[in-house]
Amino acid sequence: MRIAFLTAPEGVEEIELTRPWKAVEEAGWNPQLVSTEPGQVQAFDHLDRAGRFTVDHVLAGDTADAFDALVLPGGVANPDALRLDERAVGFTRGFFSAGKPVAAICHAPWTLVEADVLHGRTLTSWPSLATDIRNAGGTWVDEAVHVCRAADSTLVTSRKPDDLDDFCAALVEEFARQDR
């Protein structure tokens, strides 16, 4: 399976990128770093600069067709930038339209709010997004990980880096359902 990890050029929370990436690799799948600009993305450890990661694929009118699933890592600046980029929003929306699984952690559901894909879905996130999620038609819950299986697609969400063990296990399990 080919898994897209969508990030902005700057601001992704490093551990929310690297831990799910490793889980995807350990499952035998092919993670691909997708961004809105070529080159490298600058990750952060909260507010401090961390590692840089090479972009595998630059968005340019893409659809979800080239990938089997989507991971949206958090960080505050990352999803805030993505939600302002129509290519990123359309790319994200395409996974839901195609019935492909999506996983989002921490602040990443901001991109889902902008993609208008939360109507009737239950999810979790960093607590400050609860009102945004409710206003977008979703139901917010305070859980380490929540899996929402809808008729059109599956959404795996988690609150924060402390929940990464649960998040990674759930996304691998749900993505494996797609791989069958």
Q: Is 107 annotated as catalytic?
A: yes
Of 107, 146, 148, 168, which residue is the catalytic one?
107
Question: Where are any strands of DSSP class E within 73-153?
Answer: 102-105, 122-123, 139-140, 145-149
Phi, psi of 121 (to 5 degrees): -100, 150
Report whether 166 contacts 89 (CB < 8 A): no
Which residue is associated with the tokens 């924060």? 160
Q: Is 106 annotated as catalytic?
A: yes
By CB atoms closer than 10 A (0-12, 13-18, 19+), residue 167 is buried
- Encoding tokens for residue 115? 């993609």
Residues catalogued as catalytic: 106-107
